Amino acid sequence: MKTALSIATSDCSGGAGIQADTKAMTLNGVYAMSVLAALTAQNTTGVAGIFSVPPEFLEQQIDMVFADIRPDAVKIGMVPTAELFRVIGRRLRHYGADNIVVDPVMVATSGSKLMERDALSALKEELLPIAALVTPNIPEAEALAGMTIREKDDMLPAAQEISRKHGCAVLLKGGHNVSDADDLFCTEDTYTWFEGAYIDNPNTHGTGCTLSSAIAANLAKGFDLPASIRRAKDYLS
């Protein structure tokens, strides 16, 4: 059986974070493992508290996973501090990790801030250069590209800028009153729209975690990026 590792944060309500990641990976047919970057006290309405693990303990978790069950893909979700991002980047480079998918979680669906101010720079410097794919939503893409996205036509130049600057493929997720459920897959040279039917559903807590984890699971199974994205979108829908 293929394996996938989530490096992310616990959601005690079970809808997002590590809990959503391991559910999605398992249901997409791989053996799921997890490394905790932080604990949260949260539910679908908001985040009451965040408790980061010590960097040394994060490193120890990563080392123990790779020493025993090497992951075929790695998904990185919410990481609250720059120091933790640096540990993750250093250890994944050390092990030559494959199929890295970065979900740059900055703000929860409820609106709660999840990342310290200086962590964004560390994410860009440490993780995006080694990522196979980054999966920002509209506000996250604006922060990564340094551009404003007001309509669907603004998504392509923003995604191209992220890919050009950091050398990774980009899945810029629609929604946020821009393109409903249509997502843009982009590399420096090519782009493809993945259309999706808009589902009027209030239960959106953890959809980004689920999508990126399903993509990682399908990469672990040997599908290429476009096929992994399509399979993950179908699963999420």
Q: Which residues are catalytic?
A: 173, 204, 206-209
Question: Could you say which DSSP state residue 12 is in?
Answer: T
> What's the CA gap between 171 and 184, in Å, rounded?
5
Do the Cβ atoms of 186 and 172 come closer than 8 Å?
yes
> What's the CA gap between 198 and 3, in Å, rounded?
31
Q: Where are the alpha helices (DSSP H) in 46-81?
A: 55-68
> What's the CA gap between 228 and 171, in Å, rounded?
11
| Burial class for 224, CB neighbours closer than 10 Å (0-12, 13-18, 19+) | exposed
> What's the CA gap between 120 and 77, in Å, rounded?
13
Reading phi first (left if > 0) and then psi (alpha if -120 to 50, else beta), residue 29 is in left
Q: Which residues pair with 134 in a beta bridge?
A: 102, 170
Radius of gyration, alpha carbons of the chain: 16
